Each structure stands twice: as structure tokens, then as C-alpha cells.
Structure 1
Amino acid sequence: MRRLRRMAEEQPGLRARAAALLRRLALLLLLLAGAGGQPAWAVPGEGDITVQGRYAFDPGGQASVEAVAGGALPLQRLDRHRAFALGTGALWMRFELPVLDPAQRWYLLLSGSPFIDRASLFTADAGGRWREQRAGDHLPVAQWAHPHDSPLFSVPAGSGGTVWLRLQNQPAPASPFLRLVSEDGVQAQRQWTHLLVGGYLGFGLLVFVVGLMHARLYRDRAFHAYCAYVACMLLFQLAFTGLGGLFLWRTSAAFNDAAPALFMLPMIAAGIWFVREATALQRHHRGVDRATCAFVLFGLVLAGVYPWARGHGAYPLLNAYGLVSVVLSITLCAWTWRRGERYSGWLLLGFLPVHLAYPFPALRAAGLLPDSWATEYAVLIGSALEIPLLLWILHCRAKDFSETRVRLRALDSTDPLTGLAIPPVLQLRLRDALRRAHATGQRCAVLLVEVANHADIVARAGREAGDRALVVAASRLTAVVRELDTVCRIADHRFAILTEGSQPSERRRLLAQHVVARGLEPVPRLPRDLSLRLRVVTASAPDGSIELTGDGTADEQHLMQRLNRRLDRMLLDPRLVVHHLEPRDAAASVRQPVAAG
């Protein structure tokens, strides 16, 4: 906790954001705590009828509805929601429906589409024959009696009657959660589901695109792993909520049956890969890094063989892989944080919403929790909180690293003391400016500025004051020019200014006067009688004071030597403050035509 407190103090605003995260997690827990009750879209008179039924188990799965209705299987009372490990058998449930309002169409809604292979509802017609309605993952959604995100069956209104529900599911336990709903209730449930999942998918796609932009901007592999994790999470939610089977692969029963596992395994693998990249695991321990890569590769291989290995132990392996991934991600984040990775602690908090939500579907898959709104939407809500939090943490991490790299690269092109450009940069820009001046007549000017009393400042106030005076001089010179102009420190206490672009012929003269005036302003932390006594010499092109050759170029080194010699002579006479170089010969100021090619 002390380390977390220090992390929050090091970065302004993180403590407030962490508090906001905890509030959202508390809201998530409240939502999940109330999820087992009546859904928000429920209409009065509708609700859960699961525990009102009686059930029987058919070990061979071959009994017909006529045999079961005739008493071939002993019925038992279902006193609570529970899971049934069916294996190759079938579960039969009998419900006595009440008298239903004939003004409405009525349906039985069976939750938990990822955990139901086959579901059939049998209702008696007017002649006493049993009519079957089929649904489940082993049947294309397009062929369901009523295509929906989970199995939906119509029931006759009027006098009520007996209905039989047959369920098959392997290898996951079957946990029936049956609701009696009207047509208005089905429509309301459909609208709420589409609103919730559609909003989540739209938000997730937006975050995915932003993540790709950050990957392009920062060139950080952690963003690529993050985008892979987000994409797999969105596909997993499509499959797990049943909307993928309803809208995307509605004609493929095999893919609809395997889709939750096929997307869950790459999602877990991408999440662990993301943890590896974001925590810089490879620089902490080579063996741990290789083991983590092997764990990621195992998940991808398992996803490839899962559709053919479901009946040969792959399902328990799938659940174990998901559980181990939670423990592994927490361990890696905590371990690297203890070893000095500052952002690993924040990643641990960022994953917390999904880690808290994961037990709901995991316990449902193990048969310890019944189907409910919580088991279906817990991970969706958790990931809706997790995905933007992880992106924000990655952004802060990449920004810090990027600023460090920018500062390191800037050392090659800037003066360490003043932050101004170095002489090679000035030389290149001056050469280009002179060529443009010859080709287009666009005026440019060069000003050399000397802090004439720098030695006096050092003698009276010390070397530190002298360095401060140079920094202040650089700041003031930068303030009097435009953004496109260049200010450079070319010697210990000598600066150069290159101005170009559209400007009047007298601008260099006015600029020189302005530079001298800014130097006379008081300097912070220096005696009040000490100011910057600046001396300036100027030259411009193409009016002739900078001599251009016939091809439009100039000898930059000769030009700078000429300006430096003139400035050195000015320093011998304290009365001279500004000098403007003029054309040596009128003929020298005439521009030559540009040669073709």
C-alpha cells in the first residue's frame, strides 16, 4: 500500500482517477448483486418459472416425449436453481402453465445460449399430438423456431396446459433458467440486450481504433497486443451473448457451438501477451518470459484443436487455462511492480474489473451457479470498465517513455544549456534560406548577437549567474522572433538569428533594436544594476549585403566569419551597439537568373 501511495503522489491526478475506479467497481458489484432478481425489462405477471417444474433424467437420451409423458421416467420436484451434469443423457422438465391472457402472445425464454447444445419444447395441439420447437447451439439459429439470442419458444394462450422441455448439453453442465414472458416482454428484453451489447461493441470499436492510432504514434508493441486483446474480447462477447449467432453466423451450427471457446482462448492469450509487453517482462527474467510465451502459444494451439477435442478433456483444460491466466496476470503485474516497473501496479488495478467479474461465468461453466443475468453480462460490464482503463494506463506509460526518447534525440540537435539549435542545424537552414532568396527573391536576414558583459556577470555574481544570463538571453531572443525563424547558440556567449519569409526590408533593423532593448530589462536573480548588454550585427539577402554566387548559393562559413569579425571589432568600441552590413558593390546585389535544371 505504501508503494501504491507513492505512485499516486508521483503522478498528479492518479489518486483521483484511482478513487473513480473504485467507485465504478463498487457500482459493478451492486449491479451484479441485484442481477439474480427480476430483470429491468420484466413486465408484471411474468417471471422465472424454473422452480415450479418437475424434472427427470434420461441416461441414454433416447426417450420420446410420448414415453416421458406416459410416466416412463420418474419425476422429481425442483426446489432450487441447480446445474445438471448430463453427459450423453438428456434432462426432461414438465411445467404446468397457468391460464394466459389470449390478447397476448406468450413465450418461454431459456437463458444461457452458450451452454445449451439442444433444447426442445413440446406442446400439445388440439388433437393431443405433441408439437416440437427446437433451438440450441447444434442447430443453426436461422432454423430455430423463433430466432433469438437465446432459445425462445411460443406457448399457447388461453386455458394453459402441460409443456415438456428437453435439454442436452455436453460437456458443460446444463443449468436451466426458464422465464415466462409475453410478446411485449420479449421485445423489451431484445431492445435492452441490443442497446447494452450494441453500445458496448461501438465503444469497444472506438477504443480499438484509438489503440491502433496510439500504436502508430508511439511505435510501442504493447499497443498492438492491447488491440489484439480488445478485438478478441469483442468477438468473445458477441459469441457469449448469442448476438453473433443471431446476426453473423446464423447458418453455421458448428461455428456457433464452438465460437465462445474459439474466441475466449485467443482473448486470454492476447491478454497475457499484453501483460508481457506492458510490464517489460523480458528484461526482468528470461526464464519467466519464455514460460509466459509458451503459455500464450499453448492457448492458441488449444483454440485450433478445441472443436475436435471437446469430448476428450479439452473443456476442463479450457476452464483451467482461464483460471490460471487470471492468477498469472496478477502475479506478473505484482512481481514486475515489486521489481521497479511503476506502471505494472496500475495494470493490476486496470485488470481488476474483469478479474472480479470472471468468477460468475466460470462458476456457471463449472455448474456451481445457475444461468442468470449476472453470469451472462458480468464479464461484459467488467471489460467495459477495463478496456478504457488499460488504454489510459498505456497512454501514460507510452507518453513517459516517448518524452524520454524525444529528450535523448534532442540532445543531438539542441544546445544542452539553452535548448536552442546547434550550429549544424543553423548551417543547413541558412543554406536553404539563401537558395530560396536567390530563386524567389524572398528576403532572409542573419543577426549575430553577443552578450558583451558576460565576463563581468561571471566576475561579479559567479559562473552559475553567467549560465543563468545565457539562458535568459536565449529565452528573450526566442520571444522576439517568429516560430518559423531559427535561434542558435554558436559560441559560449554568442547567438545567431535566422529570419526568413515575407518581411519588409527594414525588419532586420527594427529587430536588432528590439533585441538590444530586451537585453536591458532586469534579469531575475541578478543584481539590479546588471542587465544583458547585447551587441548586434546584421546582414540580409537578396539585397546584396549577403553576396550570392551565380548559381544562387553562398559560402555559409565565409558569411559567418565575416559577421563574427565585424562583431569582434564592435566589442572594442563600447559605443557601438548595432551594425548593419551593406552591399560592398551595387553590382553584387543584382540577382542572377536561375539556371535550368
Structure 2
Amino acid sequence: MGWFAPGHRAVAALLFLTSLLFAGPASARDPLKFDPVRQPVMLHDTGEAWVDESGKAEVHDVMNDAGIRWHATGDNNIYRLDKGQALWIRFTAPPAPSAERWYLEIPYPGVDRVTLFVQNAAGEWTARSAGDTIALSAWPLPHRHPVMPVSVSPQQSRVHLLRIQNGTIFGAPLQFVSDSYMGRNEQGISLMLGIYFGLVVLAVMLAVTGAVTLQDPGYWLYSMSAVLMAVTQATITGLAGLHLWGDWPWWNNIAPQVLPLFAIASLQIFLAEVVSLRERSKLLYKLLVLGGLASIPLAIYLVLTPDVMDRLRLIVVFFIAATVAGLGVVVWAAIRGDRYAPWLLLGSSPVAIVALFPIARAAGLIPISFWTTHGMQFAIAAELPILLIVLAMRSQHRREHVRRIQGLDRIDPATGLINAAVFHERLVRLIARSQRLKFRSAMLLVDIGNIEQIRRQFDSDSARELTLRVAGRLLSVAREIDTVARLSEHRFGILLEGPLHADEVAEAGPRIVARCLMPFKGRPLEWSAHVRVAQALIPMDGTDPSQLIGRLEMLLASAPADSRRAVFMLSKASMPAALTP
């Protein structure tokens, strides 16, 4: 048996080394330290966790049961608590000066119930609870999410037990903060949320104004969608529970599951309206609207069903289906040439991308983080202005279309100038105004003399284009207070508002002739307008509008075709010497 002793010692040494190897990670864990300089202080792996499958264990049972298999905590750990389980976390608060209080912060506004246990001086376990199933007035510290005071002592460390109950999944990092840090951090979060909700209020006010003044239902849908998304974000961030319905635990618990359904449904219907889906495909529009209205019975079912995981699955499926349907319709409209669809895709893309984070968090794929809670505020803040600009562009195009249709009896559709009837009305008012105020005004008739030559030398399209180009040249010569009209196919009328000096009257006709003779870019030199101008003074040359127009027409008609004169005055007394034949 002498050979056994050395072998036994070798095996014992091997077992000892093995135990040291496996014990190394546990012993290598750093203890929890409250450092006021580096905050927040994350729990990381300094605590121990255990899932109570029955969910009925009390604090005394947990402390006295030596058979519990604790494991190290971690910021990225995700626990399924959908069958009534309870998550227990044990940590030891280190000695810390009592000058500043420390808190355990659970950045998860939607957690059902968290209870923090600590022994008092008499050795009894005291408990404080918070969560959205508890009225806010019963929380130890009213906040957007549970914040639990930690009992610290300057001389000794203290063991704390945290029990977490949630109907679905829990995966939130636990962190410790001091009074001063929490105040500074909350100011930053409040500023960020204030900017977001201020932007929403501004966007909604502009949209409501547009809906009332422009009678565009798209603005109403935009307003409804923006409000529902804002209320949803207030619910998810805990702001609504803090300020609106904190003392209604039942609704505070169910609101984060119900309100997002209405938000995504309203956005889906809004997108269908902007791309005119009803006009493009009535069947597809009805299906999309029915899909959006399905959020109502689904919300009722979520309220009534006790199976929380069933709720979660339905929410995730509805979100994904509604997002795919809404964006799919926009892509479908873009392929068919909708002018607003690309802009809608640009505006909706941030929300569609960032929405993956809370959906993945709800499905238990990733833990809670800043982006799962606040990412949507950044995405919506980028989306709202773009969608509002798209609505404004859409309304402007529609107004222009309606204005053109309604103005066909007053505006020439080819040039956008007023027609002969409106020109006559303005001439009547100009004559009356000139007589009343005793100043000089002028009226000009402009004919394109070489239009037939252009048609023969080039083609009919070139002749029509030249007419439009001349209209543009006349507008560039006229002042803002003057009137330019198209009286017939190749004749224009101009009213020069007084008071006019003699030199202004003398220069008007030659300036128009010279401007129209200038070559056009990209056209040959012979493709130019040779215009003839007949000019009358108001009221010197007459006060009857019809007679004035008739006399100017006769003046143009009586001019020889081969005449080199381009400007004809109705009154020779007012004509400059250079223009006298």
C-alpha cells in the first residue's frame, strides 16, 4: 500500500488546483463600491441572482435556504418571469458616508413590481415596493421608473435583497446613484423629453391649422398620429405614469401594451392617405384601413386576457405586420410614380429602424438600454418635420391644381396671364383711378408680327413656344403694379399704372420691342420676336375702355406690313420726335 500514499497526495493536489481554478472567477469578482465620481455605479457581477420558480418564497425563506443556487448577476442577463416566477437579487451595499443618500435605480418603467428588503437595527426585514401595479403615491420615491433608497452605513456593509416580479421578461441593468447625480441626470432627461414633446405640440398645432384652413384630411390624420405616438412615448418612458395616471395602477400596467397599437395603426392609415391609396387601389386601401381598425378589438382582447405572454406575442406580431404593411404601401406607391412616396420613406425610415429596438426588447432578445427606451423620441423628432413638409407640398400642389381649374374663366391656361375679360375690368378701374387722382397712365397692345414667318421657317410648335417666351419677356419688363394680359393668340395687353412721367411713357414701347428682340438661349438668332406696340395715354386719349382698345387695334391693323416702325402712338401730341414718321 506504500504506492497509494504518493498517488493519494497527487490526486488531492490535483483536486485542490482544480478547485482553485473554478473558484478563481468567483473570487476575482470585485466587491460593490459606491464611487461618487463615477456614476452610475453598475451592479455588474457584484450581486447574486436566483429565480424562484414558485414565486412564493419570502425573504426569510431566501435568507435561510442554503440550498439555493445563486449565480452572478450581469447587465445583459434576461429572465423569463411569465409563469409567476420571481427574480431575487442579493447584493451588499458597501460602507459609505451618510452625507449623501444612495438609490437603487431600475430603469424599466414597465416593470410590474420590485421590492427591496433590508434589515433594520432590530434585525427585522423591512420592505419597500414600487412598480406600475402599485399606485405612485405608495412608492418610496415617485419617479418615472422604480428608484429604491439603499440603506448604507459609514462603518459596515449591509445585505439587501431585491425581488422582481414581472408578467413577461425582465432584462434591465441595475445601477446605483446618489442624490446629486440623480438630480443632474433627471434634468438632462427632462430637457430631452421637453424638447421632444414641445416639437410634437408645435407640429400638431401647425397640422390642425392646416386641416382647418386647407380642408385636408391628411392633416387630421397627421395630428392624430403625432398625438398617439407622443402619448405612447410618455407611457413607455414612465412620464405618463408619473404625471397623468400614476394612481391608476391597472391602467398604468396595461397602457404600454395598448397605446402603441393605436399609434402604429394611425400612422399606417396616414401613410395610405398621403399616397392616395384610395384612388390607386380601393381594395388595398380597405384592407389597410381594416388592418388599422383591427387595433381596437386587439386592444380589448389584451385588456381582457390574463396571459401576459400571449399579449406580448400579439403585440410583436401586430407591430411587425403593421410596419411592413405601411411601408410596403409607400414602396408600392413609389414604384407607381407617386411624387410623395420617396419623401415618406425618408421620413418613416428612422422610426421603422429604431422601432426594432423596443420590439426586440419586448421579445426578450436584448436587454433594456437607453436606446430601447428613448430611441423612438429621436426617430419621431426626425420624422415629424419631414412628414409635415410632405403634407405642405401635397396641399400646395392640390391648391395650385384647384386654382388653375377655378381660374380658367379669368386666366389664360397656357401663359398664366389674365385673359381679355379681366384685362377689360382692370382697364375700367385704371381709367377711373387716373381720372380721380388726375395722373397719367398708359395702355399698350403688343402684337407678334413675325409669328407666321416663324411657323413657316420652323414649325407650329416653335410658333407656340415663341408666344410663351414673349409672355415671359413682357412679365420681366412690367413692374409689379402693372398688368400683363393675353388678349388673343398672338396679342398681349399691358396696363402701366400711373402716375407716369413723360419719359417713362416714351420709353415703354421701345423697351418692350428691344427686350423681345433679344435672342433666346439655345435658339438661332432668327428665332426671335418682332413685336409691334400700340400705345395710348389714359385718360388723355379717351375714357371709354372699349373705344380705346378698338382704336389701338385699328392702329396696329392699319400699319403697313413692310413698315420698319415698331411703336405706334395713339396721340401724336404725346409721341417723342424720334418716333414721329
Q: 1:320: which partner in 2?
A: 317
What's the CA shift for 1:293?
0.8
Q: Return the TM-score normalized by structure 1.
A: 0.77
TM-fit CA distance, 1:143: 3.5
Q: 1:334 to 1:529 in 2, by over 3 A?
A: closer
In the TM superposition, residue 392 of structure 1 has moved relative to its aligned partner by: 4.8
Aligned to 2:536: 538
- 2:238 corresponds to which residue? 242
Secondary structure of the corresponding residue to residue 295 of structure 2: helix
1:561 is matched by which residue type in structure 2?
A: G
Find the residue that maps to 1:148 and give its secondary structure: coil
Distance 2:353 2:179 in 1: 35
Gap change, CA 1:581 and 1:254, over 3 Å in 2: farther
Q: Hey, what does 1:57 align to over in structure 2?
A: 52
- Read off the aligned partner of 1:145 and give its amino acid letter: P
Choose from 404, 417, 422 the match for 1:420. 417
Q: Give the match's secondary structure for 1:491.
A: coil
For residue 48 of structure 1, what is the aligned residue in structure 2?
43
1:296 counterpart residue number: 292
In the alignment, is the contact (CA less than 8 A) between 1:119 and 1:151 conserved in 2? yes
Instruction: Judge conservation of contact 1:420–1:489 (CA < 8 Å) in 2.
Output: yes
Per the alignment, residue 174 of structure 1 pairs with 170
Output the amino acid matched with 2:556. Answer: L
Q: Residue 472 of structure 1: CA displacement?
A: 4.4
Range with greater deviation from structure 2 (78-87 or 63-72):
63-72
Question: Structure 2 vs 1, CA of residues 142 and 575 (structure 1 numbering), >3 Å: closer, same or farther?
Answer: same
Match of 2:552 in 1: 563
1:377 aligns with 2:374: yes
CA contact (8 A) 2:444 2:494 kept: yes
Matched, 1:580 2:570: yes
Letter in 1 for 2:554: R
Which residue is 2:125 aligned to? 130
Q: Does 1:76 align with 2:73?
A: no
Q: In structure 2, give the amino acid aligned to 1:538.
A: A
Q: Which amino acid aligns with 1:323?
A: I
Give the distance between the partners of 2:152 and 2:244, measured in 1 at CA.
33
- Asked if the contact 2:136–2:247 (Cα under 8 Å) also holds between the matched residues in 1, the reply is yes
Per the alignment, in what secondary structure is the counterpart of residue 235 of structure 2?
helix
Aligned to 1:337: 334
Bigger radius of gyration, 1 or 2?
2
Q: What is the aligned length?
A: 531
Aligned pairs for 1:378-527 (under 5 A) are 378-394=375-391, 413-437=410-434, 444-456=441-453, 458=455, 463=460, 466-467=463-464, 469-500=466-497, 502-504=499-501, 507-519=504-516, 521=518, 525=523, 527=525
Cα distance in 2 between the residues matched to 1:536 and 1:414: 23
Counterpart in the other structure of 1:92: 88
Deviations 1:482-530 (A, max 9, x none): 1122111212332211233544577544423433454555566455697
Letter paired with 1:578: F
The equivalent of 1:160 in structure 2 is: 157
> Does the Cα contact within 8 Å between 1:420 and 1:487 map onto a contact in 2?
yes
- Inter-CA distance 520–384: structure 2 relative to 1 (3 Å threshold): closer
> Retained in 2: the 8 A contact 1:175–1:370?
yes
Taking a change above 3 Å as real, the CA distance of residues 283 and 442 of structure 1, as seen in their structure-2 partners, is same
Deviation at 1:273, TM superposition (A): 0.5
Whether the aligned pair in 2 keeps the contact of 1:43 and 1:185 (CA below 8 Å) is no
Which one of the candidate residues 118, 143, 152 is aligned to 1:148?
143
Secondary structure of the corresponding residue to residue 376 of structure 1:
helix
**Residues 327-383 of structure 1 deviation map (CA, whole Å, 9 limit, x = unaligned):** 222332333334443543553454332333223222322334333333222333333
The Cα shift of 1:389 comes to 4.2
**Residues 82-134 of structure 1: per-residue CA shift (max 9 Å, x gap):** 223244454433322233344432111112112x1222212222122223222
Match of 1:190 in 2: 186
How far apart in 2 are the matches of 1:523 and 1:107? 78
Q: Distance in 2 between matches of 1:565 and 1:133?
A: 101
Q: How far does residue 153 in structure 1 lie from its aligned partner after superposition?
A: 0.9
Alpha-carbon contact 1:121-1:133 (below 8 Å) kept:
yes
Structure 1 residue ranges without an equivalent (≥5): 1-40, 548-553, 584-597
- Structure 1 window deviating more from structure 2 (431-440 vs 150-159): it is 431-440
Match of 1:106 among 77, 102, 105: 102
Question: Residues 370 and 492 of structure 1: is their aligned pair in 2 closer, same or farther, counting only changes over 3 Å?
Answer: closer
Tell me the CA shift for residue 163 of structure 1. Answer: 1.3
> Aligned with 1:145: secondary structure?
coil
Structure 1 CA distance for aligned equivalents of residues 346 and 37 of structure 2: 35
Aligned equivalent of 2:4:
none
Secondary structure of the corresponding residue to residue 128 of structure 1: coil
Aligned AA for 2:92?
Answer: E
CA RMSD of aligned residues (A): 3.7
Identity rate of aligned residues, in percent? 28
What is the CA distance between 1:406 and its match in structure 2?
5.8
* Structure 1 residues 402 and 531, CA gap change in structure 2 (3 angstroms): closer
Say whether the 8 Å CA contact 2:444–2:533 is kept in structure 1.
no
**Deviations 1:274-331, CA, capped at 9 Å, x for gaps:** 2211332223332222111111112134446654555585454333221221222233
